[in-house]
Amino acid sequence: MNTNFDTALSAAHAATAAQNHPTGTLYVVATPIGNLADISLRALHVLSLCDTLACEDTRHSQTLLRAYGIDKQASHWLAVHQHNEAEAAQEVIRRLHAGQRVAYVSDAGTPAVSDPGARLAWQVQSAGLRVIPLPGASSVTSLLSASGTPAPDSSGFVFVGFLPSKATERSHAVEVVSQEPRTQVLLEAPHRIEALATALGALGARHVTIGRELTKQFEEIATVAAQDLSTWLQGHPQRTRGEFALVVHAQPQVLAAGSDNDRLLKILMQELPLKTAVKVAAEISGEAKNALYDRALALKQATSD
């Protein structure tokens, strides 16, 4: 057992043992994407409590659990991955009907986002059985939380995941990305990151935040123009190694100077704080708040000059 987690496992049992963990239930458990300390106390307790550990790769998950001092017998393990998910789900359902607690983990992060698990959860629910999520690490939300946005509001984001590996299909996918005005999250493997960076260059000056080896020792997060992404990768030999998440930032909306919106903003800004003026202007005009906010800042700067 890794001695760094001696007290963590004890704390997990102390903190959550009194909580209800019903039998005949599938627990979808998020695991760390790199830093082992990112496991939750609840996850540790459920992983040690469960009768079956369904996972994407049994060898990988055995190593992970042993790091926390959790050791399961061979009969407790069940492989459920993208190639057998539909069939293996029936075995999970059989075990749930027998009153077992089954925990499902992917190789890293939150299952069923990009990794397998979605079909399993659907089939379990369709069988009238309960699915309980145990939230935790995710490369998607981790990078989104660090990438930021220049706008005061958010129009949400689109999860794209991995683009096609074939050049023609990837180019078409990038074209679709370019036409989506909202923030988008992509994932990529190290052996394809340079090809993706080249393809994303077609987005020009649109900002891209790249997260490499998130939560790990050599984590890097940088925001560059899409057209400069290849140059950034080539800036250091280590930058093409590891796992990648990328945020393609929302397409900025620009309002023309001298429009009716300018007049509306000027009137409102005389009586209201900037953010409130922008909110009211958006409700009146129907324009996007982020575009109005940028224009209001420009007007305020012009007035102070």
- For the stretch 22-64, pLDDT in tens is 999 999 999 999 999 999 999 999 999 999 999 999 999 999 9
Q: Please state, in angstroms and rounded to a whole number, the distance separating the CA atoms of residues 44 and 4.
A: 14
What are the tens digits of pLDDT across the range 98-147? 999 999 999 999 999 988 899 999 999 999 999 999 999 999 999 999 99
> What separation in angstroms does the CA of 21 have from each of 25, 47, 186, 202, 305?
8, 11, 35, 50, 63
Reported pTM: 0.81
pLDDT of residue 1: 42
